[in-house]
Amino acid sequence: MKNCTAFFFFFLSVFLLIIPFSVGGKIYKWVDEKGVVHYSDHAPESIDTIKGAIEERDLLETSPESGEAASPSKLSAPTPIARAVNCTFTIKGAKKVGTGFLISPNGYAVTCKHVVEEPSSYSALLNDKTEYSLTVLSVSPRQDLAVVQVPVPQKGSHLSLRDASTLSPGERLFAIGASAGLQATVTDGVFTGIRRMPETEEEVIQFSAPVNPGNSGGPLVDEKGQVVGVVSMRFDSLKGVPINGVGFAVPSSRLLEEYGHLIEK
């Protein structure tokens, strides 16, 4: 992630809990004084840095047969966002940390080119805490995209794509990644629009979910857990004035153009 400032080092000292991957129980949501949204299975220990109220929600899903909330013991799958989290992993290199996400049951995954373009050995830290050596298969010559492979021992879950052109302004989106080095951090915001970057003339998604160094390569997903883009960069400041909530992602259509033959439909 570009233009890292001292602002981000604040988060290294803030006590954050990683979003839980099991269903059932409760999940708490709150916004800190910097506007970052946090999710956890425990309420925050201190309210000094919290802006607004703490939301408490039951992790229940709706039963398709009855239309009623199913008990946690009967749930056979996590929520869409929890499932997306489980398909996301941290990429660890010699000098940087980034994020990737699975696009096939065979371990093919996507990240940003700038995360893995330096000569180095990389590893993938999955959310079950297992770690594998990562193989860089391809880096795009045109987009900030790369395909890597995780040698998973058996076929597993992967994320599906949604065409970003179907998004509407204000639609809720979630960024998932190793934000400030904290694995599986989830932040939410909204879709702003499709922008054309003046330097490259490439189209990118603008969204408001807070992102930090380490988010690069992570999925930007909708409320159904479908990938609409790959988190690539953010604006920190303009002419010395700090800017928050302006992130950018490579649209899913570009991912299909480059690597559609590897994506499990």
In the annotation, is 144 catalytic?
A: yes
* Catalytic residue of the set 104, 114, 222, 252: 114
Between CA 88 and CA 83 the distance in angstroms is 9
d(CA 7, CA 158): 33
Token match 């939301």: residue? 55
**Catalytic residue chosen out of the listed positions 144, 179, 208, 232:** 144
Taking a C-beta distance cutoff of 8 angstroms, is the pair 190, 150 a contact? no
Q: Which runs of E-coded beta strand occur in the chain? A: 26-32, 37-40, 50-58, 88-92, 97-102, 108-111, 122-125, 131-139, 146-149, 172-179, 182-196, 203-207, 219-221, 227-234, 237-238, 241-242, 247-251
38: annotated active-site residue:
no
What distance, in Å, lies between the first and last C-alpha atoms of the chain?
29
Long-range residue pairs from 1-6, CB within 8 A, at least 24 positions apart, any chain? 1/211, 1/212, 1/213, 1/214, 1/215, 1/216, 1/233, 1/234, 2/233, 2/234, 2/236, 3/234, 3/235, 3/236, 3/237, 4/213, 4/236, 5/236, 5/237, 5/242
- The residue assigned the tokens 């940390």 is 97
Residues with a known catalytic role: 114, 144, 216
